[in-house]
Structure 1
């Protein structure tokens, strides 16, 4: 008995190999969060004070983690959707909704990437510093357009895989001599 179920025809046939990037970044960020939190707990326990910088770094890492995981979810086609609508109806309707979903995610994060560049530029230009440790704010904000562009690229890749799967399904249906 195989533990791998046969993929549904509406699902992309394979996930990108380059997802290792997101997977490793997730591991690294989670490890950093655990180490920072553990170090802060130890310092609080033994000295009754805490590292002030840990909260600022932890918040940044959690936001980065959410964006990295969002990129992996989009690439794996596991992003948030309303299953009642996404999985209901005919196969053609499901394929069209899958294409619409991928295109919408690509558009949304493309816009976020473009607009957040202005935020980074303003942080740099005005010399904004972080409230906790006083480092330049753009050190944190630069990652929003980077990760948003990554999510956009993943959504475009999902859209292209869906188009290829749709074309392959259409070719199978239109091919003479093939019974459905």
Structure 2
């Protein structure tokens, strides 16, 4: 819970403070973030070593690193939505009565849900097209759906986290 200051503004939650209880543990996003960051570091390090000793880089590292950065952004976005730490204009979101703040928080969560549900549908259509037309990735020629399958999956995860936040804010006194 945020701590109010002398001026009436709320301080952000202290890092390491316990998260709100959720049905699906937030540790999933936390561990996925750690794993993706570790993979990015290892791939980049291996590519630097290969370039240093052979003057050539691995062809697949740039394509795979871009994919991992997109996954990282989506996983971190899911954690941010679940923790209600997504970007907002605090002047509007944190001012007014508690009922107004709750209503704005619920409205924001509902809009995030709508956005990512729509993204899940549209990226699902892209995935279908990638599979149907046999698209391959431009860098290394693997099936493109290997990359695009994760966008609808992670969009559904973010939409689910937003829906959970919507209901949690509705239960607040």
Give the TM-score of the pair, scaled to structure 2: 0.88
**Aligned structure 1 segments of 4 or more residues deviating by more than 3 angstroms:** 4-8
SS in 2 for 1:135: coil
SS in 2 for 1:71: helix
CA RMSD, Structure 1 to Structure 2 (Å)? 1.8
Find out whether 1:41 has 2:20 as its counterpart: no
Relative contact order, higher structure (CA 8 A, sep 6+): 1
Residue ranges of structure 2 left out of the alignment (5+ in a row): 5-9, 14-18
How many residues of Structure 1 are paired with residues of Structure 2 in the alignment? 160
Superposition deviation, residue 14 in structure 1: 1.7
Distance in 2 (CA, whole Å) between partners of 1:14 and 1:41 is 41
Distance 1:134 1:161, change over 3 A: same
Q: Which residue of 2 aligns with 1:52?
A: 59
Bigger Rg, which one: 1
Higher relative helix content? 1
Residue ranges of structure 1 left out of the alignment (5+ in a row): 170-180
Q: Which residue of 1 aligns with 2:38?
A: 31
Give the TM-score of the pair, scaled to structure 1: 0.84
Q: 2:95 aligns with which of 88, 93, 112?
A: 88
Distance in 2 (CA, whole Å) between partners of 1:15 and 1:130 is 40
Find out whether 1:147 has 2:166 as its counterpart: no
